[in-house]
């Protein structure tokens, strides 16, 4: 394990780097930018790479990882790679095929973490967002516990070292945890805002929380209301940035780490990628943390309006 990094132990004995690099990109950004940015992230010291089938960049991410393995920067075991099961593959017989598609694109033998992306089953097929003639999404009825059974089989097969969930609420998490015959607890849950109650619940169940959109997202028009507040412009963040002689982005990332949350940072700019890795070089005081806790408006940048 790289001593430069903080690691968090998962409930299955595996370890996840506390800071991750997110690879989601808005549609207008060319895929080639993902390869460049991921290479830069690995060069800067990121070892946790977060992606997903639906991002449609896994070939580019895989290329970046393999090139950094080939030039001796890292070994495969240094990289913690996360992928996610998309909603059109929720039928138990399709779950492993989604993971196998990701692995084929990545040219990897396994992922370190595989997550159920959203608790929303959709009609199976090649369309990522199947819609009817009125443009409404076509959902499917699949029991999430049956999906979890299939996720456990992916772990048994050695295709995923750890398994977890994303965008689940407490009720949905409890449904999995209380499932008869549960063999593996979810190791992790991805979240998108200061969900204190969910954080406390997950800690009590030994489940690690991972925060995405910790910097307020890239404001992709497809997902984010353009009139929503710009997180990094917040005056409280700005004042703390001045106090610590750091950027607002670093204060926001550090806040999550000190709450015991694994955090994903995302950027295509080399300067920001290099800056984000410096999150381990300073500490926020208890008073700073209290000020930042006070910012919680239960605001979601990413809403599932498809």
Per residue in 213-242, pLDDT (tens digit) is: 666 544 445 444 544 455 667 888 889 999
Cα separations in angstroms, 248 against 19, 152, 192, 242, 252: 16, 40, 18, 9, 6
CA pair distance 37, 261, nearest whole angstrom: 24
CA pair distance 76, 89, nearest whole angstrom: 27
Q: What pLDDT was estimated at residue 86?
A: 98
Please give the residue that has the higher pLDDT: either 99 or 230: 99
Q: What pLDDT was estimated at residue 215?
A: 63
- What count of other Cβ atoms lies within 10 Å of the Cβ of residue 294? 9
300 pLDDT higher than 50? no
- In sequence order, what DSSP letters do the residues of the chain get, joined into one string? --TTS-EEE-TTS-EEESEEEE----TTS-THHHHHHHHHHHHHT--EEE--GGGT-HHHHHHHHHHHHHTTS--GGG-EEEEEE-GGG-SHHHHHHHHHHHHHHHT-S-EEEEEE--S--B--SS-SS-B-TTS-B-B----HHHHHHHHHHHHHTTSEEEEEEES--HHHHHHHHT-TT--S---EEEESS--HHHHHHHHHTT-EEEESSTT-----TTTS-TTS--GGG-HHHHHHHHHHTS-HHHHHHHHHHHTT-EEEE--S-HHHHHHHGGGGG----HHHHHHHHTT-----SS----
Q: What pLDDT was estimated at residue 152?
A: 98
Q: What pLDDT was estimated at residue 171?
A: 94
pLDDT band of residue 170 (cuts 50, 70, 90) is: very high
125 pLDDT higher than 70? yes
193 pLDDT higher than 60? no
CB 181 within 8 A of CB 148: no
Please give the residue that has the higher pLDDT: either 66 or 216: 66
If you search the block for the tokens 């498809």, which residue do you land on?
306
302 pLDDT higher than 80? no
Residue 219, token pair as written in the block? 């404001």
Taking residues 28-42, report their average pLDDT: 95
249 pLDDT higher than 70? yes
Mean pLDDT of the chain: 89
Which contacts qualify for 155-158: CB closer than 8 Å, 24 or more apart?
A: 155/114, 155/184, 157/96, 158/110
Q: What pLDDT was estimated at residue 121?
A: 97
Taking residues 147-165, report their average pLDDT: 98
CB 55 within 8 A of CB 114: no
- Annotated binding-site residue? 117: yes
Q: What pLDDT was estimated at residue 73?
A: 97
- What count of other Cβ atoms lies within 10 Å of the Cβ of residue 186? 26
If you search the block for the tokens 């913690």, which residue do you land on?
80
pLDDT band of residue 301 (cuts 50, 70, 90) is: very low
Q: What pLDDT was estimated at residue 242?
A: 94
Q: What pLDDT was estimated at residue 154?
A: 98
Q: Mind telling me the catalytic residues? A: 55
């Amino acid at each position: 394990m790289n001593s430069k990094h903080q690691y968090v132990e998962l409930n299955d004995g595996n370890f996840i780097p506390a800071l991750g690099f997110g690879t989601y990109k808005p549609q207008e950004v060319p895929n080639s930018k993902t390869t460049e940015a991921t290479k830069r992230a690995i060069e800067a010291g990121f070892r946790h790479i977060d992606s997903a089938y639906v991002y449609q960049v896994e070939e580019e991410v895989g290329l970046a990882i393999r090139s950094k393995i080939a030039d001796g920067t890292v070994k495969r075991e240094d990289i913690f790679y996360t992928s996610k099961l998309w909603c059109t593959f929720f039928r138990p017989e399709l779950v492993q095929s989604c993971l196998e598609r990701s692995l084929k694109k990545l040219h990897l033998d396994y992922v370190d973490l595989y997550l159920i992306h959203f608790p929303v089953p959709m009609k199976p097929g090649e369309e990522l967002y199947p819609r009817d003639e009125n443009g409404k999404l076509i959902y499917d009825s699949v029991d999430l516990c049956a999906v979890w059974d299939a996720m456990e089989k992916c772990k048994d097969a050695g295709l995923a070292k750890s398994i977890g969930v994303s965008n689940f609420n407490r009720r949905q998490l409890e449904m999995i945890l209380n499932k008869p015959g549960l063999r593996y607890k979810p190791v992790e849950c991805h979240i998108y805002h200061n969900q204190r109650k969910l954080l406390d619940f997950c800690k009590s169940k030994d489940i690690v929380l991972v925060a995405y959109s910790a910097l307020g997202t890239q404001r992709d028009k497809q997902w984010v209301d353009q009139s929503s507040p710009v997180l990094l412009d917040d005056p409280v963040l700005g004042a703390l940035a001045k106090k610590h002689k750091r950027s607002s982005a670093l204060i926001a990332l550090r806040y999550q780490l000190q709450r015991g949350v694994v955090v994903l940072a995302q950027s295509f700019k080399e300067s920001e990628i290099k800056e984000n890795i410096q999150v381990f070089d300073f500490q926020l005081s208890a008073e700073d943390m209290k000020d930042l806790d006070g910012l919680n408006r239960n605001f979601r940048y990413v809403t599932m309006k498809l």
